[in-house]
Amino acid sequence: MGTAIFMVLMVCGYWYTSRDLSTRFKIKRSWGWDVYFLVALYGCIFVLQGVIATGIIWLLLLALSALLNAVPQLNDGLHHHWQSEFMTWSFLGIQAPVVIMLAFAVAFCLYRSSWSGSARLNGSGRKKLYKKLSRANGVEGLLFQCMEEGELAWVTLKSRRIYIGMIHTASYDATATSNIVLIPMLSGYRDGKTLSLSIEHNYSKWYYEHDITLDSEPRSALAFRKVIMLDQIESLSLFDAASASAVMLANDEQTACG
């Protein structure tokens, strides 16, 4: 019986954490023993709910038995103990209350992970959820702000390569493949000795000269997108238009002097 309870507990916990959107975000941000304890935690919640539901059935049987025993016209001269009989029933060698409790746990798990409102979030609901979860992580919070408000991001790679542009999407599903998709406006590098910024490509000028936008045809700005792995990023910050103009002006002056 203990093995059956443990198996249902872990299966329910795994099923819920792998399908519920908010919990899936949390578990992707956990590692090691934290993942196992998180799965067991949700499994315990569903099993506890099953225990409570089974206890409610026992109370209903107790109340019904007491009612029948209190009204002679209903008990036919018998003394009912349905709550006691309920506790002694068995199914395949397992006490029936345990089977019913586990069935309730599975039912609650399926409902919460497949049919409840929180499991079927629409676009705005997903956006609100992601915004809430991203507050706990500085990088994710900044990326979400860039995607939501259209802010430019300054991305510095470990190779001293620099990209300035719009964050199109970000993926955190797996640590090994976590990445951001950036639509570049400027790109360049920092000098290894002076750390001064040198602009090599002005994508925004190219877009303007060729009438390229995010939804232009037959070619859009998405054709120039860069997929950058998160583990290759050294620093990330916002980049405003005024700073961009200053950088370009300084770069032009350096080119003219050269």
The pLDDT tens digits of the residues spanning 8-25 come to 888 888 888 877 766 766
pTM: 0.55
Whole-number Å distance between alpha carbons of 178 and 67 = 62
Q: Residue 152: which CATH number?
A: 2.30.30.100
Band of the pLDDT at 124, cuts 50, 70, 90?
low
pLDDT computed for residue 256 by the predictor: 46
109 and 145 co-located in one domain: no
Phi-psi region at 178: left, alpha or beta (left = phi > 0; alpha = psi -120 to 50): beta
108 and 128 co-located in one domain: no
23 and 58 co-located in one domain: yes
196 and 240 co-located in one domain: yes
21 and 39 co-located in one domain: yes
Is residue 13 a contact partner of residue 103, using CB atoms and an 8 Å limit?
no
Mean pLDDT, residues 36-58 taken together:
89
128 and 244 co-located in one domain: yes
Question: Number of folded domains in the chain?
Answer: 2
85 and 138 co-located in one domain: no
Residue 179 has pLDDT above 80, yes or no: yes
Residue 126 has pLDDT above 60, yes or no: no
Distance of CA 31 to the CA centre of its chain: 14
Band of the pLDDT at 49, cuts 50, 70, 90?
very high
Q: Is the peptide bond before 218 cis (omega within 30 degrees of 0)?
A: yes
3-state helix, strand, coil in the chain (%, to 5): 60, 20, 20
Last residue within a domain, chosen from 119, 140, 172: 119
129 and 253 co-located in one domain: yes
Residue 248 has pLDDT above 60, yes or no: no
Both structure tokens of 219? 């070619």
The pLDDT tens digits of the residues spanning 189-201 come to 877 676 677 888 8
Does residue 218 or residue 4 have the better pLDDT?
218
Is residue 100 a contact partner of residue 94, using CB atoms and an 8 Å limit?
no
pLDDT computed for residue 53 by the predictor: 92
Q: Which of 83, 55, 56, 57 is nearest to 69 (CA)?
A: 83
Last residue within a domain, chosen from 94, 119, 144: 119
65 and 143 co-located in one domain: no
Mean pLDDT of the chain: 77
Is residue 75 a contact partner of residue 69, using CB atoms and an 8 Å limit?
yes
Whole-number Å distance between alpha carbons of 72 and 145 = 71
The pLDDT tens digits of the residues spanning 128-170 come to 666 666 666 667 777 777 777 778 888 889 888 889 988 888 7
147 and 162 co-located in one domain: yes
Last residue within a domain, chosen from 119, 134, 157: 119
129 and 250 co-located in one domain: yes
Mean pLDDT, residues 77-82 taken together:
67
Domain holding 113, by residue range, is 2-119
pLDDT computed for residue 34 by the predictor: 76
Band of the pLDDT at 39, cuts 50, 70, 90?
confident
Is residue 182 a contact partner of residue 163, using CB atoms and an 8 Å limit?
yes
101 and 136 co-located in one domain: no
